[in-house]
Amino acid sequence: MRAGTDPIIVGLITQAVAIAIVAILSLLLTRSTRRPYLRYWTGAWICLCVALAALLGSLLLARVGLLLQPLYLLGEYLFGFLFIAGCQYYAGGVGLTRKDAWLLLPASGVAIMLPILGGGDFNIFFIPHAAIVAYLLASALQVLHAARKQKPPTPGVRIMSAALFLLVLVFLHYIPIYAYSA
């Protein structure tokens, strides 16, 4: 099947373009609304956009796939980390510090090792990756839930909470599906 008609490639391109639009809109919003949590969320969307581009590249360019797969994984871990950071800042004004940078080491290690242990097979290394991303998104949801107890939730917080909840379910449902297909 050609890349232009492969439903996986078409779906991934659609997702990457949609995330790029969200990242651009978020970037524009941070210029007019100076909120630190928006900067974290904008960084998260940019990381996810880069991650999806790396995944697309790994699928289209098989020779560099093993090099791009860790970039995809690390990009998604950074997305989750920055999303949590944005939620923490929104909830209580607590931002990231230089001490938090150590978390990049285990995330980078996992991002490098999963494709190697999975032999470069996406269906295999995506199983633990989906569990990690589900955990990161659930953590962001938990932080937002705690914020809802401190101040009345706005419609945006309700929508984001619902979206995070659904994303957690999506990534959790990937685990048995990919385990079955592997």
99 burial type by CB count under 10 A (0-12 exposed, 13-18 middle, 19+ buried): exposed
> Could you count the other beta carbons within 10 Å of the beta carbon of residue 152?
6
Mean pLDDT for the stretch of residues 120-134: 95
87 belongs to a structural domain: yes
pLDDT of 34 over the 80 cut: yes
pLDDT at 13 over 60: yes
Flag whether 176 is in a domain: yes
CA geometry: angle 149, 43, 21, nearest 5 deg:
100
- Alpha-carbon span 110 to 26, nearest angstrom: 29
**Cα 3 to the center of its chain, rounded Å:** 24
Q: Containing domain of residue 64, as a range? A: 7-181
* Residue 30: pLDDT over 70: yes
The domain tally of the chain equals 1
Euclidean distance between CA atoms 84 and 136, whole angstroms: 7
Distances (CA, A) of 26 to 31, 45, 77, 104: 9, 8, 19, 24
Evaluate whether residue 13 is within a structural domain. Answer: yes
pLDDT at 80: 96
The distance of Cα 19 from the centroid of its chain, to the nearest Å, equals 10
Euclidean distance between CA atoms 27 and 117, whole angstroms? 36
Q: Report if residue 1 sits inside a domain.
A: no
pLDDT, residue 1, reads 46
2 found inside a domain: no
Residue found by looking up tokens 């999806």 in the block: 52
According to the model, what pLDDT value does residue 93 have? 79
**129: phi then psi, degrees, rounded to nearest 5:** -60, -45
